Structure 1
């Protein structure tokens, strides 16, 4: 496309909430600059509104480019490549720009022969005042390195610099502008400072909230640091100082907000106490908190759904319905606005919990999408979709329901509610609350998308419940037995359970086999092996020979991706090893190389820098192997005294089992203290030669073997469910960081220590940007297995023929 030398192109990102797109469009139309063209990169929901705003405005050419499900970088690239200006700027609504911003930025850039871009300082810039230059100064590389918001987002860029840098990175989920500027300074391009700082609304900074969502921000930062590591290493001191200044500012703001929250919470508790006392007094006098004779009025008792009086009446029916269908809430679950119902009624059946909202300001949202756009939600991802009291807020309910159907996996369940009687949702404005439904309407709507035999619909409520709800009363004002009586003529809401049908069953031959991930720990000959962790080298070689002859051995990533996409490769296995023992390097790796087999080794990083053994091996050696023990062991565990007798093997085994249970729940400092006490009491040093995990240099040697991948297994091998969120975060993130520093390669999979996890653990692994999480659930892979809760079959000491027979039997049993 021919480029016009005197033209600047405005790339408008018309994706997201209406008010943010309107902010971007207003800033674009406000610019006093001649010969500008407007490129509108849009999703379907925003195209018509932008076209209406542009009706009659002929001073700019306007070109519309559909974004579809493009990533932020790909959407920006599509807009730039449709443009004809020699300069361009991207407007995404994150900043409010003065009318002369582009004019000044263009002038500043064209006056500088060296600069590839022009921009102002960012609203959240950590750059200290004494370090800031003046308008027209070249931008120091350290300013860009300071962070994503050190400079303004709206930057005027030369088109030839865009082409030289290769455009915006389409693989990044966020921070694409920062990555682009880093690419420019990496190829020795520089920028020039514009004298104005664009304003941002900290109370409505949607683009900032979008970027800071954990599943976007953390993976983006990791990839950007890995991609531009060389330039960060040139300015390490300034980067750390500026990051510290930013963190300090954010910490102070967080403390102010927390103090305000605590104050409001205290006030609310006081009001609740007063209300409770008043209700008690009324009951003493034989009266309820309100008599229906008081309802001769034209205004409600409460305009807040009854929340200020107690539990809203519609919530009674919603939560009763969800509780009845609790078994449907399993696997990967999507809920609107927050995950309250998922967590409350799904429990440990849920392996991953996503939250959907159209508004990215919702910090709980892990999926930002418009249900009216049938291609914005991923296809066949969810086992359950909780869609309560939402459809009536969407003008195109049919499209929203089609999106929900598409997002469900075969056999997945949609749990929905639709209001029949309620006040209009004033918080969504005059055009935000569209519909009320009846049982007949719900049946017509859902049975056009789901097979009628897969839809169950029920009316809930009665005249008393409907009247009370309209007046803003709560469940505290009526009796539960009064709510439980349903009258189809006066429903408060409609409940719907709809199931996406399974595909037609395929005829499966008797020889069909599933796929599995196999779990090993140690390849060694051991005197004692109470936990059955070891397979001898001879047996392991025999097992690998049989595997290579009988089944297809695949890399972990390939078999996991295939299973989570719905097609576990028939008759295939992947090999994994947990803990990172030295014998994995000395015995397992050479045998694997001998047969050309791939494997993934999951490593705990605490032992990498010091020669220490695992605590369970120490307990086994002290209590089950060594003979010269005192008759009594007096040990303090976390300050609590324990006395163990060791006169015979039975008592030693009992002592071992009790200490094992205590150690499993203990933090590292407690474990280390007990091990020191055991060493002092027995005169033994730990670990014994060869009975230890690998050190850093040995991990590097292991990773050099062909077809070997390294995975993360936590820092201290702690059971994640019992940890605080901060400790769990450190175990998952710091293990990965340590391994990547040693190996200088990405770590993409995580094995849960002890195989234990909850939905929160799986979510932590997901937000840490791991592709896969592996458990110890003893079964083969199934279609649509959650990628962050993959099962594994443990392998023990068996001859090759016994081993292969047991594996093949397990694969056939689950096929």
Structure 2
């Protein structure tokens, strides 16, 4: 049905096809549009300076609106297509891809039923031309779309997206981007407007040797640059953690792609090797040097002992390397300010949370029945088992969620023997009379009840609201004496965690996403980052 005699109530869909020397594929793209079971469609082809048959293929169809421009790139061509289109809904289809049956009807129904949506996206097929392999790509995303997009482009193919026309009154594709212009647009839109996603497959993505996505160094550098544009707009800890995770996910994804490409091909470009070396130095060095490692060690020791062994140490091959005096390279640590002044919350989360949360997870069976937590009850609800009542003690009476108000070191209004468990994480160092606070914990715990306590050892000091009440740090030795003084006859277990690297990472504000589990799990008692206590109050004697 043509646009002229279709029902007027049905919104017009403009399918915009930017084309640069892909005339050989253009007819197949047209056919996939004309087979759609949707009554009102217009096709706009933007010829971006092609020198092949693009003009002839497009102009032999009177219903196709053909626009020519000098070569300006994909983003500029799409923007030109928007200007020359008239549809209420817009779809961008590359000339070498095609739409699957019912694609336009499926997406249009979403927008008609939810007119507040800026766009809707769906699943797609990946067609690998060289092998004929077909992969189905669907991912279920139902909410928090901006947070999800910060952690990767779950959409994956722009032809699966149908936009409201009004979106382009405020946004356009960025012509300065050589790649990832679609991802940039999704982030900007979803930060401001609601969007939706479904798992129905609506388009096919043809993967061949001329795809820009094959240039992995370009794709990685561009996608990280696009993601970095969002950094100044991140306000919540959740957004900052999603951003940090997104950086790791993109590096991991393209690192895998690049490593597979390099190891399966006898040739690698300098750009590919440089990119892989930057994000996976150990893996790259092993790949390049492992076959002659024994000989290489001897050569490096004899002729370039420090530089050579340093390289092998960085690759994880020679682990006992220590730089000679005067040969320490401080690198990114050669600075007087940390990477983060927010304990690493803006870089994926604080490293000390690994120890705190693992401790609570191990002791989750003790977080039961009636539980008191200080400030909020996040850990109680996250790790607790069989909770009958969750109480919160807060110093501020304006906190509507607090069931008790007061200072833990001076709370006579809290009854004796009331709680089965007290979760006291990262709080004791903020209480000047910490001995009295522990005495209160002992008093208000039931016999047989458990105190789960964590305290900082080596730590940055908060620069915000807790700056004026940040009094103490505690070693495992101090805790041993302190708990035996304040919890008479109790069963006490003290844990200690950290090493020189993690202590340094914490002080510099590195996030947990920037260190490995192996680095976190190594313990050196000389560098205690977090110390923990499990104290079980003794039962009354018979």
TM-score, normalised to structure 2's length? 0.42
TM-score, normalised to structure 1's length? 0.28
